[in-house]
Amino acid sequence: MRNLITLADVTRREIEQIFSITEDLKAKYEAGTREPLLPGRVLALLFEKPSLRTRVSFEAAMTHLGGNSLFLSDDVGFGKRESLGDFGRVLSQYVDAIVVRAKQHEVVQRLAELTSCSVINGLTDRAHPCQVLADLYTMREIHGTLSGVKLAYVGDGNNMARSLALGCGKLGMVFAIASPAGYELSEADREWLSQQVPEAQLIFTQDPAEAVEGAAGVYTDVWASMGQEAQRAQRCQDFANYQVNAELLAQAPGEACFLHCLPARRGEEVTDEVIDGPQSVVVPQAGNRMHVQKGILAWLLGPQTNPE
Ligand code: CP
Ligand code: NVA
């Protein structure tokens, strides 16, 4: 029984296995076949924050795989009616896996320790591993390979930045991050990243132009994440020079793609011109959430599951 709490839970080889299952299932889906690899399997979905992509793509993925998903609304009282241990131990008798989006990363870690089924992180304040697998799969579709490919991230040193840095490091990519002073990935994050992937090629800068130079992909995320709404006005000032606009994108190679995990705040971290422009891949990137999560679910729960 395996979990996916951060990308530290999977090796490079396992990510490649997930991508290979994804590629197969996506090709079959596009040819009109939905291969039922998980008949009778049940996925529970628990969300402490709003979601369009994560919730719907997991539900659709599970349906296509012949399994079922249960969206657990506030009625189940997650974190309110009983202890996390009682909740997790009971729920994991009914379902094969739980996708959980929690305000605090530690809640997902503790749930994974307390349950007997797989736990998948659907976003926390620290990590968004399913998103990053879809992002890197999207770049792999575009470039054919990821090794040595540079991804530039312009913006907040947040859950996305941390997860992208780890994912790029694991897959032999170069990751450059440009953040304003005070919003960088922390020293503790950098230490953790170098422990996870000592050979990672990570570039930390405050200069967006330096980050995007030679990049095959330019990525950004909102300046104020879910839960940081009260800081939004201050952050808009502090990030004003970190917008991905046509001028910045022009400093990347002409074939560079633009990525965003969405939802976007148009006019803040990205202009309409860029997100709707010819280099933007945000729509197929979001579509790949479903395809890659089929790969994750089949890898975690299917017949080829590593029994570790
Ligand atoms: N990118 C992402 O996780 O989107 P949702 O918040 O809509 O799930
Ligand atoms: N950093 C954003 C990502 C949303 C997918 C947030 O946590 O709100």
Encode pLDDT of 37-78 as tens digits: 999 999 999 999 999 999 999 999 999 999 999 999 999 999
Examine domains 7-128+287-301 and 130-286 and report if their fold is the same: yes
Mean pLDDT of the chain: 97
> Per residue in 214-246, pLDDT tens?
999 999 999 999 999 999 999 999 999 999 999
pLDDT digits (tens, 9 = 90+) for 246-291: 999 999 999 999 999 999 999 999 999 999 999 999 999 999 999 9
Q: How far is the CA of 160 from the centre of ligand 2 (A)?
A: 7
Nearest-atom number in ligand 2 for the CA of 261 is: 5
pTM equals 0.97
Q: What is the dihedral of CA 74, 77, 78, 80, to 10 degrees?
A: 130
Residues paired with 218 in a beta bridge: 152, 258
Alpha carbon of 199 to ligand 1 centroid (Å)? 30
220 secondary structure, DSSP code: E
Q: 150 and 216 in contact (C-beta within 8 Å)?
A: yes
Radius of gyration of the chain (CA): 19
Fold classified for 7-128+287-301: Rossmann fold (3.40.50)
Q: State if residue 293 touches ligand 1 by the CB under 6 angstroms criterion.
A: no
- The CATH architecture assigned to 130-286 reads 3-Layer(aba) Sandwich (3.40)
CB 29 within 8 A of CB 291: yes
Domain boundaries, the chain: 7-128+287-301, 130-286
Tell me which residue has its CA closest to atom 7 in ligand 2. 225
**Which protein residue has the closest C-alpha to ligand 2 atom 1?**
225
